[in-house]
Amino acid sequence: MRNYRLYCYQSTTGVKFVVVGSLSLSSGVDGLLRRIYELYADFALKNPFYSIDMPIRCQRFDDAIRCLIERQDKFSMLTV
């Protein structure tokens, strides 16, 4: 059985961001979650057609998240 650790960040708007990683993942998770929130703010909250209850449908957001996770994954065991 594999063991994982769950990390969560809740924004002031109530949106939650969740990262699942290996037990050895500890350093950099806070920064990763803050960066995910920054990307969310840039690509979703600043979009005049987006409302909080809508799914985020933005290819640039998806690409930026994927790039961020791939960079993080080079330094630790992160599961997306």
CATH code of the domain in which 69 resides = 3.30.450.70
Domain total in the chain: 1
Q: What is the pTM of this model?
A: 0.79
Question: How does pLDDT run across 12-54, given as a tens digit for each residue?
Answer: 878 899 988 877 776 788 889 999 999 999 999 999 988 888 8
DSSP letters of 53-76? TS----HHHHHHHHHHHHHHHHHS
> Looking at residue 43, what DSSP letter applies?
I
Contact 23, 3 (CB under 8 A): yes
Containing structural domain, residue 43: 4-79
Q: At 20, list the tokens.
A: 């699942």
Pairing of strands 78-79, 16-22: antiparallel
Q: Does 78 score more than 60 pLDDT?
A: no
Q: Does 9 score more than 50 pLDDT?
A: yes
Q: What is the pLDDT of residue 75?
A: 64
Question: How does pLDDT run across 49-77, given as a tens digit for each residue?
Answer: 888 888 998 999 999 999 998 887 776 55
